[in-house]
Copies of this chain bind each other. A is one copy, B any other.
Amino acid sequence: MPKPTLSIEFLGAAAEDYLPHLAVDCVVFGFHAGQLRILLTHWHARQRWSLPGGFVRRDESVDSAAHRVLQLRTRLDHVYLQQYHTFGGLDRRDEEIEHMLDHEDGRQAARAWINDRFVSVGYYALVDWTEVTPTPDGVLTDECRWWDLATCPPLLFDHDAMVARALATLRSQLGHSPIGLNLFSETFTLPELQRLYEAILGRPLDRRNFQKRMRELGILERVGELRGAGVRRAPYLYRFDRPRYEQALREGILLRR
């Protein structure tokens, strides 16, 4: 991939095509090997990472902008995106972007557009990470990849706060909504499901209590195979009973923490 360049030509077009002051950012969660992960993009000029994000075209809705950005970075269509919070602080301005422009002449409008304050509408998605093809934009970012949430680097702008708030939203939903349908490819073990809950809650859970409560919810279907061979007590595999999972989504559950 050629070195990404933020050209004034690109910005000139952006200032015409996109609404000023408005951005979207996506927290894309995946789950792998017991770890919650997020998809990040690498800013070439800064050697730093950020959430996948973008701007809102004058001819598209804000929701469409988020879907477009997510599709570009993941190559996935029809991902379930949830708008969770709009970040509108006064400090949401990129102080350094001026230095990234490739030359100094012309196009005040373009410079004004990118230098100004941006309000960002935050979305999160839960995806099966194996289906994602991480794809950088080639303009600002030269790399796009998964990071384990526990070990990801400090992010650009206020993106750490955006992730924290998306995680807090997930956490508050854990108590009254099922989770996992979009995160697992198909089947999973109860220890895997428990690790998902622990990763979101950020603390360990009692194994027996967790398994008892999960079974009581009635949303799991035991597939009946054992994973691996020769293991003395391999855990059972489960999948979600989709009609009952969806009923639980509608009617709510209670999972005491």
- The segment from A58-66, A95-103, A127-135, A187-195 that touches chain B is A58-66
Across the interface, A83 reaches (CB within 8 A) one of B63, B86, B176, namely B86
List the B residue with the shortest CB-CB distance to A257: B251
| Complex Cα spacing A90 to B88, Å | 20
Whether B83 and A61, one on each chain, are in contact in the complex, defined by CB atoms closer than 8 angstroms, is no
Copies per assembly: 2
| Complex Cα spacing A121 to B83, Å | 12
Whether A88 and B117, one on each chain, are in contact in the complex, defined by CB atoms closer than 8 angstroms, is no
Chain B residues, Cβ within 8 Å of A65: 88
* Residue A178 at the chain B interface, CB threshold 8 Å: no
Least distance between A59 CB and chain B CB atoms (Å): 7
Chain B residues, Cβ within 8 Å of A222: none
Least distance between A181 CB and chain B CB atoms (Å): 18
* Residue A21 at the chain B interface, CB threshold 8 Å: yes
A residues in contact (CB < 8 Å) with B? 19-22, 56, 58-63, 65, 83, 85-86, 88-90, 117, 119, 121, 175-176, 251-254, 256-257
11 CB contacts below 8 A, A to B, read A19-B20, A21-B22, A61-B89, A61-B90, A62-B86, A62-B89, A62-B119, A176-B176, A176-B252, A176-B254, A254-B254
